[in-house]
A and B are shown apart, each in its own frame.
Chain A
């Protein structure tokens, strides 16, 4: 039994390094959240920030020694923004990892099957409507964006279905084709949108500048439930890497697995983009970077993507709002500008096979 010890030792070592990765990234995420809350156009000392943050926790009693304005900036402006950026980053990264795993295609991203174009069309219509509406803590634009995302993915799903099965290639092609159709409608609407064009284009590139607690409260349950569902199916997703035929022969109910994971990944993507716009790049690159560093086992790839995605988007949003302050740069510009060189560096240095 000595060789078994050796084999499982190597196996356990790999598990341990990945568990350390998860623990380390979780810690880093906490630190970065505090730092991102601390940095901004108004200077607030770190002591005060700790004081304000800790005073909000239950069972801790701190006598406020800071101004009400500082508290408003931290609690009502910066904190929801940091949390929303983290949630959206986590959602896009795990959705991307799920689509890539499910389709066994390195080019898959969360927007592959029509979520982004559907959401964008909904949002553009929301911008162009002659009236506005507010309710349940959000406006008409996120509502229409969310509806658009779900309608377009349902159409793609319906088009791609063959009998009781959902062939992946048909799904991707239907998504690309419908995306192109919606894209041209969006372009048409933008050209005739007059003075609203600026707002639309900024929305399409993504921004956290209007983040509020009410939005965090709506996005949070979707993202948390979606992430938990996807994480539960991490091991079957590994077996899907063998291809659908072998996965079936190993006892996986492939069609049901595809349905559960597609619905979960689509819902969290739709919830995320409806409030902050189409933030590109995170969903495709973060899972690949994680795969290059920690390997392709989805039991680690998925949680590590969640953490890395959250860290990445909090940091890029920090750059977006501070680099040219008081002007905000659209976050979509920063994600690719900062992320692409780092990813290309990883790709060159660790030229392992991705899949």
Chain B
């Protein structure tokens, strides 16, 4: 369990500024959802946290330690990342991909021993991917690959997990399967979880807290009830009057009505 903090982080690709003084934190053992419209900077946050790109200014702290000062291999022992639908090298088997998660615990010249094989296998059992172990990655479906990536991050045994749109392109059955899995693993292993999610209803259902991002800034932060409000959704997404309370658990949920978007104008309005 570690604490993740972003303090005044600014970042841009070329001239396009993506993150503007981004500040928020994820407390130890918490599951936090990053929500916001397309292009608001969710993936960039994941990439700066995992040190793929470094911020122009500001600090990223893991348990108070600046990530810039953590060697790459040590960082991978603290922080595991589930990327968004990546291309996997098709010639490897599912088991070999999960085994790659053990890399942070091995020296470059060391090969996986029985301990690594056992940990990788257990990670596959917990994600119910062990029946796929000997299949080539090219034969797997999108949902199976997503589960496999979660198995890999489990084999990595990090203290915190970052997920980039873990439910994108999955059907609703698979979506709750994946998120139930993450939530359980997070509880059992005391993992800190930060997930970029575009589905507001899933974010509301599964996350302890939400961070709503708009135009590279934190627009709102707090429990789902505090963040998913009619006003916030209208301000950020431009969709009006669409927040209701879930009939069973009372958490906010978003139901859309046709014709309520702000930005599409009719022919007459343009003329």
Residue ranges of A at the interface with B (Cβ–Cβ < 8 Å): 3-4, 7-8, 10-11, 104, 232-233, 235-236, 238-239, 241-243, 245-246, 248-253, 257, 291, 295-297, 299, 352-355
In the complex the two chains form, is B91's CB within 8 Å of A354's CB? yes
B95 within 8 A of A: yes
In the complex the two chains form, is B130's CB within 8 Å of A246's CB? no
A7-B95, A236-B108 known; A249+B50 contact, CB < 8 A: yes
In the complex the two chains form, is A250's CB within 8 Å of B103's CB? yes
Which partner residue on chain A sits nearest B125 by CB separation? A3
In the complex the two chains form, is B83's CB within 8 Å of A11's CB? no
Taking A249-B76, A299-B111 as given, write out 13 further A-B residue pairs in contact, using a Cβ cutoff of 8 Å, ordered by the A residue number. Answer: A7-B124, A10-B134, A11-B95, A236-B108, A239-B100, A242-B88, A243-B87, A248-B51, A250-B104, A251-B104, A295-B91, A353-B91, A354-B91
In the complex the two chains form, is B52's CB within 8 Å of A245's CB? yes
Q: How far is the CA of A169 from the CA of B72 in the complex (A)?
A: 23
A-B contact pairs, 9 of them (CB 8 A): A4-B117, A4-B118, A232-B108, A235-B108, A235-B109, A238-B92, A250-B104, A251-B104, A252-B103
Chain A nearest Cβ from B162, distance in angstroms = 9
Q: How many residues of B contact A (CB 8 A)?
A: 44
Which partner residue on chain A sits nearest B82 by CB separation? A249
| Number of interchain pairs (Cβ within 8 Å) | 103
Q: Which of A236, A245, A251, A353 contacts B83 (CB 8 A)?
A: A245
Question: Which residues, 58 to 91 on B, are CB-close (under 8 Å) to A?
Answer: 72-77, 79-81, 83, 86-91
Q: Which of B74, B75, B106, B134 contacts A7 (CB 8 A)?
A: B134
In the complex the two chains form, is A246's CB within 8 Å of B77's CB? no
Which partner residue on chain B sits nearest A295 by CB separation? B91
Q: How far is the CA of A233 from the CA of B118 in the complex (A)?
A: 23
A250-B104, A291-B91, A297-B96 known; A7+B121 contact, CB < 8 A: yes
Chain A residues lying within 8 Å of B214, measured Cβ to Cβ, are: none
B156 within 8 A of A: yes
Q: How far is the CA of A241 from the CA of B114 in the complex (A)?
A: 23
Chain A residues lying within 8 Å of B81, measured Cβ to Cβ, are: 246, 249
Chain B residues lying within 8 Å of A3, measured Cβ to Cβ, are: 121, 125, 130
**8 cross-chain pairs, A with B, having the tightest CB-CB distances, nearest first:** A251-B76, A296-B91, A251-B104, A241-B89, A251-B73, A249-B81, A4-B121, A250-B103
Which partner residue on chain B sits nearest A233 by CB separation? B108
Question: Which residues, 108 to 141 on B, are CB-close (under 8 Å) to A?
Answer: 108-111, 114, 117-118, 121, 124-125, 130, 133-134, 138
Chain A residues lying within 8 Å of B124, measured Cβ to Cβ, are: 7
Chain A residues lying within 8 Å of B156, measured Cβ to Cβ, are: 250
In the complex the two chains form, is A248's CB within 8 Å of B52's CB? yes
B33 within 8 A of A: no
In the complex the two chains form, is A242's CB within 8 Å of B91's CB? no
A7-B134, A299-B111 known; A252+B72 contact, CB < 8 A: yes
Chain A residues lying within 8 Å of B50, measured Cβ to Cβ, are: 248-249
